[in-house]
Amino acid sequence: MSFEDFGFHPSILAGVRELGYVEPTPIQEESIPAIMQGRDIIGLAQTGTGKTAAFVLPILQRLSAGTRGQIRALVVAPTRELTEQTCEVVENLGRQTGLRSVAIYGGVSVVNQTRMLKGGVEIAVACPGRLLDMLWQGAVDLSAVEVLVIDEADRMLDMGFLPDIRNILKCLLKPHQTLLFSATMPDTIRGLAREVTRNPVTVQVGRTAPATTVSHAFYPVEQHLKTELLKEVLSRTKTGSVLVFTRTKRRAERVAEQLSRAGYRATSLQGDLPQNRRQAALDGFRTGSFKILVATDIAARGIDVLDISHIINYDMPDDTDSYIHRIGRTGRIGRAGEAFTFVTNEDATMTGSLERLLKARPERRTMPGFDYAKPEPERHRLLPRRQTRWRTWHN
């Protein structure tokens, strides 16, 4: 199948060609025809499957005809990064359509966003909190919305956005088409989907299992040796861009600092950073001036860097869904990737859950010559065990 088969307007096909897409990905092949027929969709797909273009292309097609200068498509997404990236896809694919989009998210001044809205846009991509603020201030009008996309619904619910989403829905006055995307389908999402969609077509890609292009390995290690081991792994592995996950913001910052001091081009991404520094970290990672990005789960949502060769779980994820999300950042669209997970004795339960998820026992790797017996530094040992954990988890 080719993109020409969908019957897109030539200006949209020009955008597809410009981005170098040759053939549709499975989620695009399955969902684009149904969306173009006006059907509601429940899309079970992870980031990295091409799901953004799967909803952006039919939206561009629909909006190419009809009124301009009013918000006719609204995409609700959990993080600023994802809203920015979705807007970028809209801009790139829709460059020749003349359709305009705006990214709406908090943590930055409202002035620019309001100015863009006043200038007239057809597509708004928004985080729920800031969008609601602007709705209450009368700065945004959703009365003409005809397509609603709820992207990464599972993550939005995890982040407590369900009440905000319900409030936003109340502001949509016209009957509209709803496209809901989620990487996982717990009961809460099933409930939301029932609430917001009408006679939906369910499109499932990847069956919420890890990408098959990713190989998995475990590195048993004691907590206090993780950074040393990370440096060892990095120095002995041929990598492209590497994304390292930690459990806490503080730890993301500290690990990136330690890697930088050791001569690696590393930076961190965590929720406490001001927007300009987050953007600088992301841009640096995307362009390759930083080879290593150390991030927390929430900060890493929506990172769209195509050639991440390795995901390193410095800390075990909290659940198997998070593991799927993390490794969804590598092995994208047919490329190979590797996922390394550092496991301590305390991770036994999650290790078992991951083995059930992967339906395999990942290889346990040890680094020859690495001093696994090196004792914990004195200052850590002086604290009772539980206090040490409290310190490292919550600092």
269 three-state secondary structure:
strand
CB of 309 to ligand AMP, least distance (A): 15
Binding flag, residue 306, ligand AMP (CB under 6 A) = yes
Q: What angle do CA 275, 281, 283 make, to 5 degrees?
A: 100
CB of 390 to ligand AMP, least distance (A): 37
CB of 168 to ligand AMP, least distance (A): 22
Stretch that binds ligand AMP, among 49-57, 67-75, 223-231, 369-377 (CB under 6 A): 49-57
342, 348, 352, 358 alpha-carbon torsion, rounded to 10° = 0
| One of 13, 15, 25, 42 touching ligand AMP (CB under 6 A) | 25
CB of 69 to ligand AMP, least distance (A): 27
Beta strand segments in the chain, E: 41-44, 73-76, 101-104, 123-126, 147-150, 177-182, 201-204, 214-220, 241-245, 266-269, 292-295, 308-313, 337-343, 363-364
**Helix (H) or strand (E) run with residue 30 in it:** helix 26-36
When the beta carbons of 243 and 256 are compared against ligand AMP, the nearer one is 243
- Between the two ends of the chain, the Cα-to-Cα distance in Å is 52
Distance CA 278, CA 281 (A): 5
| One of 226, 332, 342, 392 touching ligand AMP (CB under 6 A) | 332
Binding flag, residue 6, ligand AMP (CB under 6 A) = no
CB of 306 to ligand AMP, least distance (A): 5
| One of 42, 51, 273, 330 touching ligand AMP (CB under 6 A) | 51
Residue 363 phi, psi dihedral angles, 5° rounding: -60, 135
DSSP state, residue 292: E
Binding flag, residue 128, ligand AMP (CB under 6 A) = no
Q: Token pair of 58, please?
A: 């039919």
When the beta carbons of 21 and 264 are compared against ligand AMP, the nearer one is 21
Distance CA 76, CA 104 (A): 9
When the beta carbons of 336 and 383 are compared against ligand AMP, the nearer one is 336
CB of 212 to ligand AMP, least distance (A): 16
Q: What is the DSSP string of 244-273?
A: EE-SSHHHHHHHHHHHHHTT--EEEE-TTS
Binding flag, residue 48, ligand AMP (CB under 6 A) = yes
CB of 356 to ligand AMP, least distance (A): 26
Q: Which of residues 333-362 bind ligand AMP (CB under 6 A)?
A: 333
Stretch that binds ligand AMP, among 19-27, 162-170, 239-247, 281-289 (CB under 6 A): 19-27
Size of the site for ligand AMP (CB under 6 A): 15
Beta partners for 124?
74, 102
Binding site for ligand AMP (CB under 6 A): 21, 24-25, 28, 47-53, 304, 306, 332-333
